[in-house]
Amino acid sequence: MFRKILIANRGEIACRVIKTCRRLGIETVAVYSEADQGAPHTKLADQAIAIGPSESKESYLSVARIIAAAKESGAEAVHPGYGFLSENAEFAAALAKAGIIFIGPPPAAVAAMGDKIESKKIAREAGVNVIPGFLGIIDGPDAAAKVAAEIGYPVMLKATAGGGGKGMRMARNAAELREGYASAGNEAQASFGDSRMFVEKFIVKPRHIEIQILGDQHGNIVYLGERECSIQRRHQKVIEEAPSAFIDAETRKAMGEQAVRLARRVGYFSAGTVEFVVGEKRDFYFLEMNTRLQVEHPVTELVTGIDLVEQMIRVAAKEKLPFSQSDIKLDGWALEGRLYAEDPMRGFLPSIGRLSRFRLPAEGRHVRVDTGVVEGSEISRFYDPMIAKLCAWGENRPSAIHHMQDALDRTDIAGIAHNATFLAAVFKHPRFADGALTTSFLAEEFPDGFHGAPLAPEERRALLAAAVFAHLKSLRRDVTVGRQAGSAWPFGKEWVVGDAGEEIAAEVIEEPADGLLAIRLGGEAVTVESTWHPGERLFHGSVGEQEIAALIARNDAAWRLTARGAEREVTVRLPRAAELARLMPEKKAPDLSRFLLCPMPGLVVSIAVKAGDLVKAGQPLAVVEAMKMENVLRAERDGEVGEIRVKPGDTLAVDQVILEFA
User: How does pLDDT run across 374-410, given as a tens digit for each residue?
Assistant: 999 999 888 888 999 999 999 999 999 999 999 999 9
202 DSSP assignment: P
Beta bridge partners of 337: 239, 390
Look up the CATH number of domain 4-103: 3.40.50.20
The CATH label, of 3.30.300.180, 1.10.540.10, 2.70.150.10, 2.40.50.100, for the domain at 595-661 is: 2.40.50.100
Domain ranges of the chain: 4-103, 132-201, 204-328, 332-429, 457-479+491-581, 595-661
pLDDT of residue 510: 79
Q: Computed from CA positions of residues 218, 220, 221, 225, in that sequence, does the dihedral angle turn out positive or negative?
A: negative
DSSP classification of residue 39: -
Confidence of residue 557 (pLDDT cuts 50, 70, 90): confident
Around 133, how many Cα atoms within 13 Å sit in the side-chain half-sphere? 29
| Residue 384 to residues 186, 191, 351, 565, Cα–Cα distance (Å) | 17, 11, 11, 23
- Bridging pattern class, strands 538-543 and 524-530: antiparallel
CATH fold for domain 204-328: D-amino Acid Aminotransferase; Chain A, domain 1 (3.30.470)
CA nearest neighbour of 383 among 28, 44, 18, 60: 60
CB 50 within 8 A of CB 66: no
Look at the domain 132-201 and name its fold: Dna Ligase; domain 1 (3.30.1490)
Out of 3.90.1300.10, 3.40.50.970, 3.10.560.10, 3.30.700.30, the CATH code matching 457-479+491-581 is: 3.30.700.30
Fold of the domain spanning 332-429: D-amino Acid Aminotransferase; Chain A, domain 1 (3.30.470)
Q: Which residue has the higher pLDDT, 497 or 493?
A: 497
Catalytic site residues? Answer: 288
Three-class SS state of 476: helix
DSSP element (H, E) containing 297: helix 297-304
Average pLDDT of the segment spanning 96-114: 95
Cα angle for residues 20, 26, 30 (degrees, 5° grid) = 80
Q: How many whole angstroms separate alpha carbon 331 and alpha carbon 333?
A: 7
The angle that helices 116-125 and 249-265 make with each other, rounded to 10 degrees, is 110
Question: pLDDT tens for residues 235-274?
Answer: 889 999 999 999 999 999 999 999 999 999 999 999 999 9
**Is it true that 204-328 and 332-429 share their CATH fold?**
yes
Instruction: Give residues with Cβ within 8 angstroms of 359, minimum separation 6.
Output: 375, 410, 411, 412, 413, 537, 538
Which SS3 state, helix, strand or coil, does residue 282 take? coil
Rounded Cα gap, residues 537 and 369, in angstroms: 20
Q: pTM here? A: 0.84
